[in-house]
Amino acid sequence: MKVAFCKERINPSLPCHMEGYADRIAEEQHDDLELHSLLIESDQMILFHVLDVILIEKKLSDRIKATLSGKFSIPEDQIIIEATHTHSGPKVSSLIYHEIAPSEEYLQSIISAIVKNTEYCLRNITEARAFYGKCEVNEFYGNRNGVSMPFNNKAYTLQFRDLSDNPLVSFINLSCHPTVLSPEEHRISSDFIGVLRDEYKRQTGIPAIVVNGECGDVSTRFTRNGQDFNEVERVGKGIAASLVKTKDFTEILLENLSVSSYTLELDYEQYEGFPIEKDSLIRLNADKPTAYVYETDGFRFVTIPGELVYNLGLLLRSKDNKPMFINAYVNEFNGYAVDREQYGKFYETSMSNYPVGKADEMVEGIRALYKPLSR
């Protein structure tokens, strides 16, 4: 197995429209937004590009994938374009407040950065081994719909090391909305994600990529002490401190990669009482959400085209004991995937492109693609 990692700043020109909460104008930048790229190659290749933006619109990911496939001959289904979901980044889509277009100059700068990172990774790929560990993260976030409601308090680390056992990069999967900062904050920021990455590297010397999982109904709503940058520091450093304590790493096999996908067919005409009007907030390109499963002998990546609530994440993770990541906010955005049990009870349903029961159907379709752990 071989891997390569690099990162690049993707700061916008100011002033700019922000995306997340209501439309806002950013006049200042508090901290750098970054693009983190990871190339994993065994018999096939997986290329991750993780951006500090709120979401990935399908037409943007299609542009990026076509560019990379044409330039580097990488199959498009082996390219993963993912957002960390900060609500304090620049506007990158037409899905929310679609009368305000994102800056084409900024979108092109993102594509250029991704091409640059891909070139670097292809030139600097190195032999590596993979190790998996997990920890609990307590006190810093929880289910935002009720303090006693369940959430995934586990954080998962896939750490890559060279053949001399020197760490190269840690790939971290946790589940919490990066919404510490108030809607009244008008400075560009990665929220707690950037602090977490920086603190993790400061304590371990290892660069970190952070991707969000089943955080659709998970945030710092009931655990935060404020909504300013002091609280961003506290939360980011606190989560990093938990991650640093992960010591029980197990080597895993990332050989025999296979790629499969599940596409959910939707026909809105047959669903009476669907909560979103046809021309409302995010009903764009929402007819065929597609999820991917990337299987190796010892590990599984599942990508979700939008936001996933805890109950559905639990279903995805609990079918077997194979270590896995849930990568949400990937390739396209179809709002919240809400399970039948909770459908209509909380805010998430009003921001969903899935009629009742259809998100459950998608999850069952994904689970049917799983391959067992090879030992």
pLDDT > 70? residue 273 = no
Show Cβ contacts of residue 228 under 8 Å, excluding neighbours closer than 6 positions.
181, 182, 185
pLDDT > 80? residue 277 = no
Show Cβ contacts of residue 369 under 8 Å, excluding neighbours closer than 6 positions.
260, 261, 262, 293, 295
pLDDT > 90? residue 308 = yes
Percent residues over pLDDT 70 in the chain:
94
Q: What is the pLDDT of residues 326-363, one digit of tens each?
A: 999 999 999 999 999 999 999 998 888 898 999 999 99
Q: What is the pLDDT of residues 75-109, one digit of tens each?
A: 999 999 999 999 999 999 988 888 899 999 999 99
Q: Which helix (H) or strand (E) holds 6?
A: strand 2-9
Looking at per-residue pLDDT, the higher value among 67 and 281 belongs to 67
What was the pLDDT predicted at 375? 65
| Burial class of residue 205 in the structure, from the number of CB atoms within 10 Å of its CB (0-12 exposed, 13-18 middle, 19+ buried) | exposed
Taking the C-alpha atoms of residue 354 and residue 282, their distance in angstroms, rounded to an integer, is 11
With cut-offs at 50, 70 and 90, classify the pLDDT of residue 278.
very low
Looking at per-residue pLDDT, the higher value among 278 and 127 belongs to 127
Pair of tokens at residue 155: 């954080």
| Burial class of residue 116 in the structure, from the number of CB atoms within 10 Å of its CB (0-12 exposed, 13-18 middle, 19+ buried) | middle
| Residue 345: DSSP 8-state | T
Q: For tokens 């190659």, name the residue.
A: 41
Give the three-class secondary structure for 28: strand
Q: What is the pLDDT of residues 208-230, one digit of tens each?
A: 999 999 999 999 999 999 999 99
Q: What is the pLDDT of residues 146-189, one digit of tens each?
A: 999 999 999 999 999 999 999 999 999 999 999 999 999 999 99
Looking at per-residue pLDDT, the higher value among 296 and 287 belongs to 296
The pLDDT mean for the chain works out to: 94
Q: What is the 3-state secondary structure (H, E, C) of 158-224?
A: EEEECCCCCEEEEEEEECCCCCCCCCCCCEECCCHHHHHHHHHHHHHCCCEEEEECCCCCEECCCCC
Closest listed residue to residue 167, CA positions, set 240, 81, 244: 244
* Reported pTM: 0.96
In 306-366, at which residue ranges do the beta strands (DSSP E only) sit? 307-308, 324-327, 336-337
pLDDT > 70? residue 270 = no
Closest listed residue to residue 27, CA positions, set 19, 41, 42, 17: 17
Taking the C-alpha atoms of residue 74 and residue 80, their distance in angstroms, rounded to an integer, is 11
Q: For tokens 């104008």, name the residue.
A: 25
- CA angle 58/36/205 to nearest 5° reads 160
Q: Which helix (H) or strand (E) holds 229?
A: helix 229-244
Q: What is the pLDDT of residues 14-58, one digit of tens each?
A: 999 999 998 999 999 999 999 999 999 988 999 999 999 999 999
pLDDT > 60? residue 237 = yes
For helices 229-244 and 192-204, give the axis angle rounded to 10 degrees. Answer: 40
Q: What is the mean pLDDT of the segment spanning 198-206? A: 98
